[in-house]
Amino acid sequence: MAKNTQYDHNTIEEHWHGVWEETQLFQDTLATADPNKESLYLLFAFAYPSGQGLHVGHVESKTALDILARFNRMHGKTVFFPVGWDAFGLPAENYAVKTGVHPAETTRNAIDTFRRQIKRVGISYDWKSEIATSHPGYYKWTQWLFLELYKKGLAYQGTGQVNWCPSCQTVLANEQVVDGKCERCDSEVIQKEMKQWYFKITDYKDELISGLDQVDWPKATKLQQLNWIGKKTGINITYQVDDIDAKITVFTTRPDTNYGATFLVLAPEHEFVKTIVDGKLETPQVEQVREYLAKAQKKTELERQQEGRNKTGAFTGFYAVNQLTNRKMPIWISDFVLSGFGTGAVVGVPGHDLRDFEFAKAFDIEVLRVVVGPDGDTSPITSVDQVQEDVGKMINSGFLDGVEIAEAIESMMDYLEEKGWGKRVTTFKLRDWLISRQRYWGAPIPIVYDPEGKPHPVKEEHLPWTLPTDVDFKPTGESPLTSSKEFQDRVEKLYGPGWRPEYDTMDTFVDSSWYYLRYVSARDESQFSDPERLAKYLPVDFYMIGPEHIVLHLLYSRFFTKFLRDLGYLKFDEPFLAMRHQGMILGPDNKKMSKSKGNVINPDDIIQKFGADTLRMYEMFMGPIESDKPWDISAVAGVYRFLQRVLSLVEAVRLTGSETPDHPDYLTVRRKLHQTIEKVSKDIPARKYNTAIAALMECVNVWEKASRDKAVVLPESEVLAFIQIMAPFAPFMTEELYQRGRETSEFSSVHQTEWPSFDPEMAAEDMIELPVQVDGKVRAKLRVAATDAAEEAKVISQAQANEVITKWLDGKTVVKTIYIPGKILSFVTK
């Protein structure tokens, strides 16, 4: 056979890239789609076009989807596989602050780079439906969506404590604060009271939970969403404040221990605290309350967290009465109680809640035991390890004595409700979504204010409400749009003198939470998306997305989907039917790739040296898509060698020209080929690309050996089948091999051919190797004709005739014989 056929990957890949561009292969899918064909919508979480360009992680997830796309096209489906850009965002704006280059220009250049790189990797996107969120044709509809929410009362202005990043000079959503720091720049986030725009995502909280039953997502992802929504059932208990006309309601999930309640704690922001500070309620402790409040408000989120479990607090001078015991419980304030959760007030049961115990110890409050400890311990609780939270029988608890905790919870809730002292409630951790951003590079919020400062929606005929360009980017703490003269003039001209625009822009997550709806009619100027196409192609069949988007993007997207469904625009409840996450590609040092560590692999370099086919195939071969895995440059070369061998092998077949289907070893190769077709056909839909590639390699190993040692030459149809099953992985080289074997000059791609079928008969082995165990240990392997595998008696007698088995059975009594047809034969002796 011909050795070392030159594998000139750059020439091959650039050539076919050019041909595909010219012939518009797989472009404008929906306009040309056959309505009778089954359709498949594959979606990649669109990327922020950063100045760094494409990285190997992008290549991984894009290739994974591209393989699915090509495979399904070859199965006759209409595959919708669009691409776009999450183009608004901070990096371009920060770059503008530093250099003065307008974000629009930075973004345009970055997109151009990405587009070029993605095409070079051979991702078969439909570029006709490309979108960018920063394009007025797109954000017009983002603004339209805002107005629809506004009309329904789901976009509202609220004043409250917000997360403020002093470095980005903007507010952040709760979801964007990570460990008390800004997720973008790691600056410490502070709390600020501001008037901002919110979306009422909490209206959908129940459905955001129940809808998860409809989708095929990783279990862990669903749990994480549930966790974030944080549904909890408990009871609100209302206590009378002693001596004055006031009541305080606490939320608790554990009313069972209420006989052990000895104090109340209020969040610093609690209404009752306000009345004290305002002097409406007289107490000798007013000064210390004020002092504590002042201190608490100054703390940043981070400082609060760093305090850890150390309890601070102040006594208000008031007492609440526990109806169960008539005990007067001192009312304290402390910042460990959060105003946003429950009622902003808790009842302290120090004997059976770790936190309450710590608080009681810090301020010398009485601790009562109401649950029997392990080994029947009923002594007073004096140390932390006696604080028993979850299990045990009630004691000192009146009618609950002797009852297990779980049962006591329900009994007590019933009792409190019966008495009118409490009411069962459900609470959620999920807050409304704060969408105002004091930044430039985003979609302007389509709101204008009249001279009295009252907000009005921008009229729909004024959409897109364009982002002004005469803006000073330098962050001042005020929105950059404040500096635009054009923006101000526009508003006064359209709405009247004294009117002013809303200067804030929308969180970029607003842009990215509905893009998958826009793709199907990306150029439509009359509506946000085409109803017919939405009905036909949505919801998304398969979504590939990084694990970092689990909480924010998915939650917001699901909210929009449900909202638009309620308006009648959509006929489905969930936007993404199936979803998986790609793992991270780590540097060769097994660490996350970063410029500072100098371990970044640039896909351009790999393509230059080995080609896009190698890059794709290597990344798919590294391991399961879902797991993190380190880059290994010599393994890349291994994949390159494989491709080179394929090229040589196929070339050799064609140069030889004479097939040898009558060769005795031909059947071995054909069997392997059919086994490989079967394996690859099963592995691709399951996205087990690493094992599919391993199978392709095995096939080549067998084929090559037969070709070299035995001069076996496969018929052209079988060579073609191999090329076809490899095509989704290595689109360039397979196109080259396919075209070399064709006679006609009219272009038709290997990627448009029909996927080869495998013949189970041809794939079947005629001899199998059957392990034989004696007492659980494999002692011999029998060669059994496949046709005999089902005949137990025949197999057993063959085993008993085996020399090694005889030796092991010698002098022993076989008490049991187990035969799993075709799998294993096991003798058990005494």
Partner RNA sequence: GCCGAGAUGGCGGAAUCGGUAGACGCGUGGGUCUCAAAAACCCAUGAGCCAAAACUCGUGAGGGUUCGAGUCCCUCUCUCGGCACCA
Confirm or reject binding of residue 591 to RNA (CB under 7 A): no
Confirm or reject binding of residue 688 to RNA (CB under 7 A): yes
Confirm or reject binding of residue 638 to RNA (CB under 7 A): yes
Query: Rounded distance, CA 127 to CA 534, Å?
Result: 19
Shortest reach from residue 295's CB to RNA, in Å = 12
Distances (CA, A) of 72 to 65, 80, 296, 517, 656: 11, 10, 59, 22, 34
- Give 131 or 780: the residue with its C-beta nearer to RNA: 780
Shortest reach from residue 686's CB to RNA, in Å = 9
Query: Rounded distance, CA 700 to CA 703, Å?
Result: 5
Confirm or reject binding of residue 628 to RNA (CB under 7 A): yes
Query: Rounded distance, CA 531 to CA 233, Å?
Result: 40
Residue by residue, DSSP assigns 107-125 as: HHHHHHHHHHHHHHHT---
Query: Rounded distance, CA 446 to CA 790, Å?
Result: 74
- Give 97 or 637: the residue with its C-beta nearer to RNA: 637
The window from 8-16, 44-52, 226-234, 570-578 that contacts RNA (CB under 7 A) reads: 226-234
Displacement of CA 671 from its chain's centroid (Å): 41
Out of 704, 759, 788, 791, point to the residue binding RNA (CB under 7 A).
Answer: 704
Distances (CA, A) of 366 to 260, 369, 373, 376, 500: 10, 10, 18, 22, 58
Out of 169, 599, 691, 753, point to the residue binding RNA (CB under 7 A).
Answer: 691
Query: Rounded distance, CA 309 to CA 304, Å?
Result: 10
Confirm or reject binding of residue 304 to RNA (CB under 7 A): yes
- Give 342 or 501: the residue with its C-beta nearer to RNA: 342
Residue numbers 420-449 binding RNA by CB under 7 A: 429
Out of 159, 210, 310, 658, point to the residue binding RNA (CB under 7 A).
Answer: 310
The window from 100-108, 458-466, 570-578, 630-638 that contacts RNA (CB under 7 A) reads: 630-638
Out of 24, 28, 116, 220, point to the residue binding RNA (CB under 7 A).
Answer: 220
Q: Find, among 825, 827, 828, 826, the residue nearest to 770 by Cα.
A: 825
Displacement of CA 38 from its chain's centroid (Å): 27
Using DSSP, state whether 90 is helix, strand or coil: helix
Shortest reach from residue 264's CB to RNA, in Å = 11
Shortest reach from residue 547's CB to RNA, in Å = 6
Binding mask 523-562 for RNA (x = CB under 7 A): ------------------------x---x-----------
What are phi and psi for residue 686, nearest 5 degrees? -85, 0
The window from 67-75, 94-102, 416-424, 773-781 that contacts RNA (CB under 7 A) reads: 773-781
DSSP H or E segment with residue 152: none
Out of 115, 456, 629, 654, point to the residue binding RNA (CB under 7 A).
Answer: 629
Shortest reach from residue 338's CB to RNA, in Å = 4
Displacement of CA 687 from its chain's centroid (Å): 17
Task: Convert 776-814 to b/e letters by CB count within 10 Å (16 or more is b).
Answer: eeebbebebeeebbeeeeebbebbeebeebeebbeeeee
Query: CB count, 10 Å around CB of 592?
Result: 12
The window from 52-60, 352-360, 491-499, 649-657 that contacts RNA (CB under 7 A) reads: 352-360
- Give 286 or 425: the residue with its C-beta nearer to RNA: 425
Out of 804, 806, 814, 821, point to the residue binding RNA (CB under 7 A).
Answer: 804
Confirm or reject binding of residue 782 to RNA (CB under 7 A): no
Confirm or reject binding of residue 668 to RNA (CB under 7 A): no
- Give 244 or 764: the residue with its C-beta nearer to RNA: 764
Confirm or reject binding of residue 601 to RNA (CB under 7 A): no
- Give 339 or 483: the residue with its C-beta nearer to RNA: 339
Out of 450, 451, 775, 790, point to the residue binding RNA (CB under 7 A).
Answer: 775
Out of 116, 195, 232, 571, point to the residue binding RNA (CB under 7 A).
Answer: 232
Residue numbers 372-431 binding RNA by CB under 7 A: 429
Out of 474, 781, 794, 812, point to the residue binding RNA (CB under 7 A).
Answer: 781
Confirm or reject binding of residue 298 to RNA (CB under 7 A): no
Tokens of 246: 């006031």
Query: Rounded distance, CA 237 to CA 348, Å?
Result: 12
Residue 308's region, left for phi above 0, alpha for psi from -120 to 50, else beta, is left
Confirm or reject binding of residue 277 to RNA (CB under 7 A): no
Angle, helices 689-709/666-683, rounded to nearest 10 degrees? 170
Helices (H) and strands (E) in the chain, counts: 28, 30
Tokens of 449: 């204010």
Residue numbers 164-183 binding RNA by CB under 7 A: 178
- For residue 333, with 0-12 CB atoms within 10 Å meaning exposed, 13-18 middle and 19 or more buried, which class applies? buried
Out of 115, 500, 682, 705, point to the residue binding RNA (CB under 7 A).
Answer: 705
- Give 357 or 758: the residue with its C-beta nearer to RNA: 357
Confirm or reject binding of residue 620 to RNA (CB under 7 A): no
Query: CB count, 10 Å around CB of 742?
Result: 12
Shortest reach from residue 633's CB to RNA, in Å = 8
Out of 43, 110, 212, 267, point to the residue binding RNA (CB under 7 A).
Answer: 267
Reading across the β-sheet that carries 78-80, which strands appear in turn?
Answer: 78-80, 39-44, 540-545, 576-581
Confirm or reject binding of residue 609 to RNA (CB under 7 A): no
Confirm or reject binding of residue 369 to RNA (CB under 7 A): no
Residue 97's region, left for phi above 0, alpha for psi from -120 to 50, else beta, is alpha
Query: Rounded distance, CA 794 to CA 800, Å?
Result: 10
Query: Rounded distance, CA 345 to CA 236, Å?
Result: 10
Confirm or reject binding of residue 821 to RNA (CB under 7 A): no
Confirm or reject binding of residue 710 to RNA (CB under 7 A): no
Q: Find, among 397, 376, 375, 381, the residue nearest to 322 by Cα.
A: 397
Confirm or reject binding of residue 251 to RNA (CB under 7 A): yes
Reported in sequence order, the residue ranges of 388-517 that DSSP labels E, i.e. its strands, are: 422-427, 433-434, 436-437, 447-449, 455-457, 500-501, 505-506
Strand partners, 78: 39
Reading across the β-sheet that carries 447-449, which strands appear in turn?
Answer: 455-457, 447-449, 500-501
Tokens of 6: 């030159």
Confirm or reject binding of residue 645 to RNA (CB under 7 A): yes
Confirm or reject binding of residue 228 to RNA (CB under 7 A): yes
The window from 375-383, 407-415, 496-504, 635-643 that contacts RNA (CB under 7 A) reads: 635-643
Confirm or reject binding of residue 771 to RNA (CB under 7 A): yes
Residue numbers 783-802 binding RNA by CB under 7 A: none
Confirm or reject binding of residue 312 to RNA (CB under 7 A): yes
Q: Find, among 196, 146, 152, 200, the residue nearest to 463 by Cα.
A: 146
The window from 45-53, 97-105, 347-355, 524-532 that contacts RNA (CB under 7 A) reads: 347-355
Out of 60, 93, 335, 504, point to the residue binding RNA (CB under 7 A).
Answer: 335
Shortest reach from residue 429's CB to RNA, in Å = 4
Shortest reach from residue 335's CB to RNA, in Å = 6
The window from 35-43, 75-83, 104-112, 769-777 that contacts RNA (CB under 7 A) reads: 769-777
Query: Rounded distance, CA 635 to CA 638, Å?
Result: 5
Shortest reach from residue 808's CB to RNA, in Å = 7
Shortest reach from residue 586's CB to RNA, in Å = 9
Please give the size of the binding site for RNA, defined by CB under 7 A. 86
Shortest reach from residue 703's CB to RNA, in Å = 11
CA angle, residues 589, 594, 598, in degrees to nearest 5: 60
Confirm or reject binding of residue 53 to RNA (CB under 7 A): no
Confirm or reject binding of residue 661 to RNA (CB under 7 A): no
